[in-house]
Structure 1
Amino acid sequence: MESAIKTVVSVYLKSAKGKESLGDKDFQTMVKKQLGNIMTETDSSSAIKEMRKGLDENNDGKVSFQEYMTLIGYLANTLSEEKTAANNAPAS
């Protein structure tokens, strides 16, 4: 678990390129490169832009680390629910 947390932090920091938050282009690049296997529509710039707007709680046009963690939490919860449902599905 420790390595997973370190990875989440390092991906954000690398994507932010030393800045305090992810701008539109940096966020789009990160989503396309890092989340394409677990999210749909990562090839759609407009869908990613809408996602960024939804995460941007303070409406500054950027994604802060805390806003990024909202995305990570949502994705982790969704994956957990999917795996739980798959494990509880009746055998055919």
Structure 2
Amino acid sequence: MSKLEKAMDTLINVFHTYSAWEGDKHKLCKRELKDLLQNELGEYLEEQKDATSVDRILKELDENGDGEVDFQEFVILVASLTVACNTTFCESS
């Protein structure tokens, strides 16, 4: 696999590792999202340590209003963070 294919595979596997913990195995409930944010994106999302920030992130990502984050909504978060990191990288170069 190419580096990009490996990255995509990793993204899919990380999402489903957390989404499989409880409830709908294809969506992240609030607890699963919080654990994923802390364990996988802790350095990029320092603010997620605040209890209300997980609620805010969930609300922002939950486009269909079902109180959970599906894979498409999760990818939006990862893409947004990636764009922000690239912007920071370009500004510091």
TM-score over 0.5 for the pair: yes
Unaligned stretches of 5+ residues in structure 2: none
In the alignment, does 2:9 pair up with 1:6?
Answer: yes
- Flag as ranges the 4+ runs of structure 1 deviating above 2 A: none
Give the secondary structure class of the aligned counterpart of 1:30: helix
For 1:12 and 1:70, locate their aligned partners in 2 and report how far apart those are by CA, in whole Å: 12
Alignment RMSD, CA only? 1.1
Q: 2:19 pairs with 4, 16, 21, which one?
A: 16
Using the aligned pairs only, state the percent identity: 25
Unaligned stretches of 5+ residues in structure 1: 88-92
How many pairs align?
Answer: 87
Q: Name the larger-Rg structure.
A: 1
1:25 is matched with 31
Q: CA deviation at 1:42?
A: 2.2
Query: Conserved in 2, the CA contact under 8 Å of 1:57 and 1:67?
Result: yes
In the alignment, does 2:65 pair up with 1:72?
Answer: no
For 1:16 and 1:80, locate their aligned partners in 2 and report how far apart those are by CA, in whole Å: 27
Q: TM-score, normalised by structure 1?
A: 0.89
